[in-house]
């Protein structure tokens, strides 16, 4: 029914009742409709290109693979803000014209805690799909936090932990689909999910527990098991903390270590290009950096500093009940200043881990005075097993997802200091084994490793890390064309491509043909290393 005011405008000035006013009326009418366990607070039509980019998105752009000038042109959309009971806030954006008939949901990183619809780029962002005329949604996963590492919301709050751990996925996607049906008068033809870090964990959770919700899932740098990630991080930080509470290996030695690792590993793929394309091929001995007996220097390491590196590269010992190899990869050194050895403050890893141990990992939360340094790694972590089913997404049995016709692309930065590349590969290999072999797994699940990339495509951007898994998953789901490679680009400050490389389905790697420009993807091919 056309509202009375709209009818009056049509009568007084024929032609004034444009499609724009009709769209506004249809959008605002959503507030008065009833949806399952869902309350809509506001619904209004927005010109996406006229609104200023929020400060949070600008900060994100500075630290990730996109900047504010990379903001994609957005269509006019109906912006719907609301919540699913009890407290799962969301923002749904519905193109008011030329909807492509598809639905896209983005995950959220860390502990979530904020609705962030204007995040730039692929990492837990929705505008990357909105610009393609998807109906898109993002959520805070059921709680508010001052930042993504703020875990206090979980303090003795089991219901909120379940919302964040898994319930948000069917609840928010279900609400979105109901609203899409009401707005367009038809349901979506295809549904997709994409997330990185905790968002990647959410994507993995979808394939394992909710195999019928999405047709295609993009799983980036997944925090598959927060328990074991926390143990890995505690191992790394405790190993680098002296009796005086100070760092053993500090920021002043990181650049030296990075250069030594690059010198030892760069050419292992047959091409010296300041990029470690295949870290497992490298054998680097930190002992070669040790100072000679009785001497100290800024250009060498102490015995204790060498020991830290051996532990970091070697990884969490197997007797700690881990499922896969959690370690820091060769080439991750560029990201240590942010994650592990920041000057004068806690690194990202310690900030997350303190919140995990205080509020999330234990059945009885120890609270704000607890620290990762209080956790005893010499015990088998039985006390962490109670909470593990709430958030773990490491079940390699994807048979129901495969039977439902789902397709999944998992990707991981080789230099990621947060979500361990070894763990992601270990999970992939378990899926392959349980599926009956690589040929069977390739039909619905593929892993792509991104050389040089850090956690969720963070700075510094020293490698080809801009790629398009959305087009790849669309082609796979809708046309049956599996991704044999995806082209990744590295751009300069002006947005000009300075290097491109193919990303290959694991265990294949990109190898130079021996002819042509080494910075162009067409001169590389995907091969299986011997």
With a cut of 70, say whether residue 58 has pLDDT above it: no
Q: Count of alpha carbons within 13 Å of 520, Cβ hemisphere only?
A: 7
- The confidence score (pLDDT) of residue 503 equals 98
How large is the average pLDDT for residues 430-457?
Answer: 97
Beta strand pairing status for 445-450 and 407-413? parallel
- The confidence score (pLDDT) of residue 279 equals 92
Radius of gyration of the chain (CA): 24
Burial 378-387 (b: 16+ CB within 10 A, else e): eeebeebeeb
Tell me: the pLDDT tens digits for 296-309?
A: 778 899 999 999 99
With DSSP H G I counted as helix, E B as strand and the rest as coil, what are the percentages for the chain, rounded to 5? 40, 15, 45
Q: Which residue has the higher pLDDT, 64 or 338?
A: 338
pLDDT, mean over the chain: 91
Report DSSP letters for 280-324, one per residue.
GG----GGGGBPPTT---TTSB-HHHHHHHHHHHH-S-GGG--SS
Q: What are 218's strand-pairing partners?
A: 194, 409
- The residues, any chain, with a CB within 8 Å of residue 360's CB and separated by 6 or more, are 111, 151, 154, 161, 226, 387, 391
Report DSSP letters for 92-109, one per residue.
EEEESSS--SEEEEE---
Q: Please report which helix (H) or strand (E) contains residue 495, including its range.
A: none
Same domain, 265 and 329: yes
Q: What are 488's strand-pairing partners?
A: 501
- Residue 520 falls inside a structural domain: no
- Residue 430 falls inside a structural domain: no
Tell me: the pLDDT tens digits for 77-111?
A: 999 999 999 999 999 999 999 999 999 999 999 99
Closest Cα partner for 125 from 111, 112, 138?
138
- The confidence score (pLDDT) of residue 23 equals 85
For the ranges 286-300, 301-315, 335-349, the lowest mean pLDDT is seen at 286-300
Report the distance separating Cα 183 and Cα 356, nearest Å.
40
Q: Please report which helix (H) or strand (E) contains residue 195, including its range.
A: strand 190-196
Q: Is residue 234 a contact partner of residue 378, using CB atoms and an 8 Å limit?
A: no
How large is the average pLDDT for residues 404-414?
Answer: 98
Same domain, 241 and 375: yes
- The confidence score (pLDDT) of residue 247 equals 95
With a cut of 70, say whether residue 19 has pLDDT above it: no
pLDDT band at 406 (very low <50, low <70, confident <90, very high): very high
The percent of residues in the chain predicted with pLDDT above 90, rounded, is 79
pLDDT band at 18 (very low <50, low <70, confident <90, very high): low
How large is the average pLDDT for residues 345-360?
Answer: 94
Same domain, 354 and 300: yes
With a cut of 60, say whether residue 288 has pLDDT above it: yes
How large is the average pLDDT for residues 40-66?
Answer: 69
Tell me: the pLDDT tens digits for 164-177?
A: 999 999 999 999 99
- Residue 398 falls inside a structural domain: no
Report the distance separating Cα 161 and Cα 401, nearest Å.
25
Query: ∠ CA(172), CA(210), CA(407), 5° rounding?
Result: 105
Same domain, 269 and 334: yes
Containing structural domain, residue 155: 1-188
How large is the average pLDDT for residues 330-349?
Answer: 92
Report DSSP letters for 15-50, one per residue.
T-S-HHHHHHHHHHGGGGS-BTTEEEEEEEEEETTT
Same domain, 271 and 381: yes
Burial 101-136 (b: 16+ CB within 10 A, else e): ebbbbbbbbbbbbbbbbbbbbbbbbbbbbbbbbbbb
Beta strands across the sheet bearing 76-84: 38-47, 76-84, 88-95, 135-139, 102-106, 190-196, 216-220, 407-413, 445-450
Q: Is residue 313 a contact partner of residue 305, using CB atoms and an 8 Å limit?
A: no
- The confidence score (pLDDT) of residue 455 equals 96
Q: Provide the 3-class DSSP secondary structure of residue 63.
A: helix
- The confidence score (pLDDT) of residue 55 equals 59
Closest Cα partner for 388 from 529, 230, 519, 220?
230
pLDDT band at 12 (very low <50, low <70, confident <90, very high): very low
How large is the average pLDDT for residues 60-83?
Answer: 74
Same domain, 99 and 175: yes
Same domain, 353 and 269: yes
pLDDT band at 450 (very low <50, low <70, confident <90, very high): very high
Question: What are the DSSP E strand ranges found in 331-470?
Answer: 407-413, 445-450
Q: Which residue reads 């038809």 in tokens?
A: 186
Domain final residue pick, 338, 358, 389: 389
The percent of residues in the chain predicted with pLDDT above 70, rounded, is 91
Beta strand pairing status for 135-139 and 190-196? unpaired
With a cut of 80, say whether residue 322 has pLDDT above it: no
Q: Provide the 3-class DSSP secondary structure of residue 149.
A: coil
Domain final residue pick, 352, 367, 389: 389
Same domain, 150 and 294: no
Closest Cα partner for 453 from 315, 286, 252, 279?
279
Q: Which residue has the higher pLDDT, 520 or 72?
A: 520
Tell me: the pLDDT tens digits for 104-149?
A: 999 999 999 999 999 988 999 999 999 999 999 999 999 999 999 9
pLDDT band at 16 (very low <50, low <70, confident <90, very high): very low
Tokens of 175: 């609400």
Domain final residue pick, 168, 188, 208: 188
- The confidence score (pLDDT) of residue 323 equals 75
How many domains are contained in the chain? 2
Report the distance separating Cα 299 and Cα 201, nearest Å.
40
How large is the average pLDDT for residues 30-34?
Answer: 96
Closest Cα partner for 524 from 497, 493, 495, 486?
486
- Torsion on CA atoms 139, 141, 143, 148, rounded to nearest 10: -90
With a cut of 80, say whether residue 332 has pLDDT above it: yes
- Residue 193 falls inside a structural domain: no
- The confidence score (pLDDT) of residue 48 equals 76
Same domain, 91 and 182: yes
Tell me: the pLDDT tens digits for 471-497?
A: 999 999 999 999 999 999 999 888 899
Q: Residue 337: how many CB atoms within 10 A of its CB?
A: 15
Closest Cα partner for 65 from 448, 440, 450?
450
DSSP state of 126: S
Distances (CA, A) of 478 to 133, 136, 304, 398, 446: 16, 18, 55, 20, 16
- The confidence score (pLDDT) of residue 15 equals 47
Q: Which residue has the higher pLDDT, 418 or 295?
A: 418
pLDDT band at 318 (very low <50, low <70, confident <90, very high): confident
Same domain, 143 and 55: yes
Same domain, 233 and 160: no
- Residue 486 falls inside a structural domain: no
How large is the average pLDDT for residues 9-36?
Answer: 74
Same domain, 245 and 347: yes
Closest Cα partner for 322 from 241, 447, 427, 437?
427
């Amino acid at each position: 029914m056309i509202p009375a005011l709209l009818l009056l405008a049509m009568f007084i000035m024929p032609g004034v009742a444009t499609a724009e006013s009709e769209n506004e009326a249809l959008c605002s009418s959503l507030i008065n409709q009833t949806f399952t366990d869902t309350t809509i607070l506001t619904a209004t039509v927005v010109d996406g290109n006229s609104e200023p980019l929020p400060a949070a998105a600008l900060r994100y752009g500075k630290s990730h693979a996109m900047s504010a000038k990379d903001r994609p042109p957005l269509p006019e959309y109906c912006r719907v803000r609301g919540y699913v009971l009890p407290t799962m806030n969301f923002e749904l954006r519905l193109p008011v014209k030329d909807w492509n008939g598809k639905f896209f949901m983005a995950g959220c990183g860390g502990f979530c805690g904020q609705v962030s619809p204007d995040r730039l780029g692929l990492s837990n962002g929705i505008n990357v799909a909105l610009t393609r005329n998807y109906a898109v949604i993002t959520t805070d996963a059921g709680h508010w936090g001052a930042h993504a590492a703020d875990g206090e919301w979980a303090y003795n709050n089991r219901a909120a932990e379940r919302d964040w751990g898994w319930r948000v996925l069917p609840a928010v996607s279900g609400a979105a689909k109901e609203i899409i049906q009401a707005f367009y008068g038809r349901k979506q033809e295809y549904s997709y999910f994409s997330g990185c870090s905790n968002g990647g964990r959410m994507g993995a959770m979808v394939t394992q527990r909710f195999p019928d919700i999405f047709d295609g899932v993009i799983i980036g740098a997944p925090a598959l098991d927060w328990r074991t990630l926390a143990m890995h991080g505690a191992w790394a930080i405790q190993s680098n903390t002296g009796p005086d509470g100070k760092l053993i290996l500090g920021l002043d030695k990181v650049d030296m270590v990075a250069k030594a690792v690059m010198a030892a590993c760069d050419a292992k793929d047959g091409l010296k290009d300041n990029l470690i394309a295949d870290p497992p091929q490298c054998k680097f001995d930190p002992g070669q950096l040790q100072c000679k007996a009785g001497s100290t220097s800024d250009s060498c390491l102490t015995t204790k500093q060498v020991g830290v590196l051996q532990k970091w590269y070697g990884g969490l010992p197997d007797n700690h009940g881990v499922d896969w190899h959690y370690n820091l990869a060769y080439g991750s050194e560029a990201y240590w200043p942010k994650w592990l050895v920041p000057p004068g403050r806690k690194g990202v890893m310690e900030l997350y881990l303190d919140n995990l141990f205080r509020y999330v990992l234990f059945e009885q939360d120890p609270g704000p005075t607890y620290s990762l340094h209080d956790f005893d790694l010499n015990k088998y972590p039985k006390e962490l097993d109670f909470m593990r089913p709430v958030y773990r997404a490491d079940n390699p049995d994807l048979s129901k997802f495969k039977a439902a016709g789902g397709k999944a692309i998992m990707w991981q930065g080789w230099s990621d200091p947060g979500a361990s590349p070894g763990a992601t590969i270990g999970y992939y290999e378990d899926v392959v084994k349980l599926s009956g072999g690589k040929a069977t797994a390739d039909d619905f699940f593929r892993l792509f490793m991104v050389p040089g990339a850090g956690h969720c495509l963070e700075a510094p951007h020293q490698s080809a890390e801009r790629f398009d898994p959305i087009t790849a998953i669309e082609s796979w789901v809708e046309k049956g064309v599996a991704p044999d490679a995806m082209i990744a680009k590295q751009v300069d400050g002006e947005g000009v491509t300075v290097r491109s490389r193919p990303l290959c389905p694991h265990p294949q790697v990109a190898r130079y043909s021996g002819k042509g420009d080494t910075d162009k993807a067409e001169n590389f091919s995907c091969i299986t290393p011997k």
